[in-house]
Every structure is written in C-alpha cells, then in structure tokens.
Homo-oligomer: A and B are copies of this chain.
Amino acid sequence: MEPIDDAAVTDATGFTAGAVHAGIKKDGQSLDLCILASDRPAVAAGVFTRNKVRAAPVKLSEERLRTGRCQAVVVNAGNANACTGEQGMADARRMTELAAAKLGIPASDVIVASTGVIGVHLPMEKIEAGIQKIHLSRTAGHDAARAIMTTDLVPKEAGCRVRLGSHTVTVAGMAKGSGMIHPNMATMLSFIVTDAAVHPSFLRRALHEAVDNSFNQMTVDGDTSTNDTLVVLANGAAGNPTLDDQSLDARRFRDALTSVAAELAQKVARDGEGATKFIEMRVEGAASDDDARRAAKAVVGSSLVKTAVYGADPNWGRVLCALGYSGADVDETKVDLRIGDVWLMRNGQIQQFDRQAGVDALKGPDVLIWCDLNLGSGRGVAWGCDLTEGYVEINGKYTT
C-alpha cells in the first residue's frame, strides 16, 4: 500500500469534481457547493447518522443507495437542510435533479449531502445558479474538499494506491468536520472513491469494517450530527477482476479503504473546533477489541481529559476515571498507564514520576496516551483533540 502525497478525490481514475461559491455561506467568497462524479455508474455503499433527527439529504441518499449504485454526489456547505420538513425533502430531491441534468444522467443515480446550520430552508435559487456554474474536471479535487468545509480550518484529503494482482487500484477520499463531531456509523461528511471493481455486498462489508476502525473511533465534542454521511463509490475503471470476500486481494483492498478512512478521521480530530492538540489513545489487553475501542473512545471524549491535555496537566486519574465509565471491563488494580514515555501506573500500582516529564509529554501538538488493561488481547485506538477556550468562543457565536 503506497500513500499518495497531496491526495485528492480526483486521483482515482474516472472521477471528476467541480466547486463554486454559490453564496450559501455568509462570508461571500468561500467555495460552498460541489459535485463529485464518476464517468460511469459506480458500485456504492454508505453509512449515515444514527441520530433519530435526520436531515433531508440523509433520508434521500440512504434511500437511493439501496440500489447499491450511484454515479455522482452533490454537496453544499453553510446549511444542513435538517429539521426542514417536506420543503427540505423537495429541496434535496431538486438538488439531485439539477446535478443530474447537468451531467446527463438519471437523478436516481445522484445522491446529496448538506452541512451547516440546522433549521433553515436552503436558498434554492442560489443553489440552482451555482450548480449551473460548476465545471467538472480532473484537477478540481482539492476545490471540492474546500467546498464542503464549514468551521474547518483545513481541508481533509487522503489517498493510497494498492497493487491487486497485475492492476493498480487507487482509493482516495475527502472529509469535513470540526464541530458536532461524535460519529455514530459515519462522520459529518466524507466521500471516498476508488477505481477498483468490487461486488456491492463486499463493498458494504468493507465499508463497515473501515468505519468501525476510523470515524467511529473519533470524537470532537460528543454531539452526533443530524447529517453524518460517509459514501464510497467504486467505478471499476482500474480493470481488476471484481473483488469479493473470496478474492485473494480482498484483505489488501479492505486495508487500503480502512487506511484512507482512518487518515481522514485523524485529520478531522486534528482540526476539531478550537483544538490546539491531537490526542491518540491506545488501549491494549482489553477483554475484546470492542471493549478496547470503547475504552479508548471514552478517554478521548472526556471533557476533563481534554482540558487536562490542553493545560499540559498530567492529572492521569481522569484517564482512569474515563476508562471506568466507558462500559469496558476494567480492573484498576491491573492497569498499566503511560503518557508519552512517562509511566504513571504499572499493574495497578501508582508510579512516582517526574512531574516536569509528565508536563512535557503533554506539551507537543500530538499527545499519545497508552494503557494495557491486562485482561485479555483486545486492542483499539481512538482519536480526539483538546478542549479549549477557542471551542467555547466558536460555538457561542455560530449563527450570530
């Protein structure tokens, strides 16, 4: 598996993108509307928010993906089209019709995603004019990644190439998200494309495995959005024999997909609203992998751990506390715990540590916390960010 430098969704063969400033965002200049399209119908799979309040584009896209086929995605930022009732559903459908007309394909092969403020109707005239202005090309992948941003400071893109027999397959993706980030089955918005040829049911299973080890292990603020959407399109342009669970190369493809998804998820955590530090929590020795993932996610989700990391305060009892309420099996008399290279607990015994070394381990932009629960062989990792005055500042004034 070979990572792609400066990856873009248009790195996969047969995919084009285009983005414009349609005037949905208030700043009057940012890109806020884009289309990502394949030159042929693609096998597709998606995972969507488990929030019971689901935005119109989530409902429509989930319905359309039941066919396992999709050719294009149209996305706007600045307005989530959530809690918008019948009008919202009609607007979401209209967005797919406008994109389909532009591309000369059926609207049933187009899905839609929206992100931004909840409870406001979409400005459809701006969207209609914007879609007409979009020009799709093989070089606009980075523009598309910018067009889906809201409070994000940086675009998030990742990609890799993997050899399957005599064919080289590309997997590339983009994601957005900075606040209201606590994905449950998907992140805020992410689109991954590949030119691999795959069976629909294989793609669905590979996607769920990738999500469980990437977006579902990442949190910014514990709020599961109404619009979480992760879609994978596989157009087969690489010409490889169609992959299924029995293929020799199935594992390589699944690992490539998981790797791209994990890189995107880490980039979202790193760009969490107000964040100054990225936190990685590794749990080993859990009773099961599920337990390990649950324990790791509780730690990166704890407001007290997040503020301690921000303040570079080695108040490690908060990590133990979060492990304890995670729902995972934990016996604190057996735990090993380390922050960076500083040992805090060994086999449940408090370790004397050099306080300054503990502070230093929390001072850099990347903080690693590691524990071994010494209960079994389960492993898991989760990613998050620190909680700062910046988060409060950004979110006290989002609609104003």
Q: Does A119 contact B (CB under 8 A)?
A: yes
Contact present for A119 and B317 (CB under 8 Å): yes
| Docked complex Cα distance between A392 and B315 (Å) | 14
Q: Does A211 contact B (CB under 8 A)?
A: no
Give chain B residues whose Cβ lies under 8 Å from the Cβ of A323.
52-53
Instruction: State which residues 49-84 of A face B: CB under 8 Å.
Output: 50-54, 80, 82-84
Q: Does A341 contact B (CB under 8 A)?
A: no
- A85: which of B52, B54, B316, B349 is its contact (CB, 8 Å)? B349
Shortest CB–CB separation between residue A183 and chain B, in angstroms?
A: 11
A117-B317, A313-B400, A400-B313 known; A330 vs B53 contact (CB < 8 Å) = yes
Pick the interface stretch among A31-39, A135-143, A216-224.
Answer: A216-224
Give chain B residues whose Cβ lies under 8 Å from the Cβ of A313.
396-400
Contact present for B388 and A392 (CB under 8 Å): yes
Q: Does A322 contact B (CB under 8 A)?
A: yes
Contact present for B397 and A311 (CB under 8 Å): yes
- A224: which of B51, B225, B325, B395 is its contact (CB, 8 Å)? B325
Q: Which 4 A-B pairs have the closest CB atoms?
A: A118-B317, A311-B396, A53-B324, A307-B395
Contact present for B333 and A52 (CB under 8 Å): no
Contact present for B223 and A52 (CB under 8 Å): no
Offer 12 A-B interface pairs, CB within 8 angstroms, sorted by A: A51-B324, A53-B332, A118-B316, A118-B320, A119-B317, A119-B344, A222-B222, A222-B303, A226-B321, A304-B395, A308-B395, A388-B392
Residues 371-400 of A, flagged 1 when their CB comes within 8 A of B and 0 if not, give 000000000000000011101111111111
Q: Does A350 contact B (CB under 8 A)?
A: yes
Shortest CB–CB separation between residue A230 and chain B, in angstroms?
A: 17
Residues 274-297 of A, flagged 1 when their CB comes within 8 A of B and 0 if not, give 000000000000000000000000
| Docked complex Cα distance between A313 and B223 (Å) | 17
Copy count, this protein chain: 2
Give chain B residues whose Cβ lies under 8 Å from the Cβ of A207.
none
Q: How many residues of A contact B (CB 8 A)?
A: 69
A117-B317, A317-B83, A320-B226 known; A395 vs B303 contact (CB < 8 Å) = yes
Q: Does A253 contact B (CB under 8 A)?
A: no
Contact present for B395 and A329 (CB under 8 Å): no
Shortest CB–CB separation between residue A68 and chain B, in angstroms?
A: 27
Q: Does A10 contact B (CB under 8 A)?
A: no
- A304: which of B53, B121, B221, B348 is its contact (CB, 8 Å)? B221
Q: Does A318 contact B (CB under 8 A)?
A: yes
Residues 156-195 of A, flagged 1 when their CB comes within 8 A of B and 0 if not, give 0000000000000000000000011000100000000000
Q: Does A48 contact B (CB under 8 A)?
A: no
Shortest CB–CB separation between residue A49 and chain B, in angstroms?
A: 8
Q: Does A310 contact B (CB under 8 A)?
A: yes
Shortest CB–CB separation between residue A356 and chain B, in angstroms?
A: 11
Give chain B residues whose Cβ lies under 8 Å from the Cβ of A301.
222
Shortest CB–CB separation between residue A215 and chain B, in angstroms?
A: 15
Q: Which of A80, A82, A395, A398 has the most CB of B within 10 A?
A: A395
Shortest CB–CB separation between residue A378 and chain B, in angstroms?
A: 15
| Docked complex Cα distance between A82 and B350 (Å) | 11
Contact present for A321 and B398 (CB under 8 Å): no
A315-B399, A392-B307 known; A53 vs B320 contact (CB < 8 Å) = yes
Q: Does A302 contact B (CB under 8 A)?
A: yes
Contact present for A350 and B83 (CB under 8 Å): yes
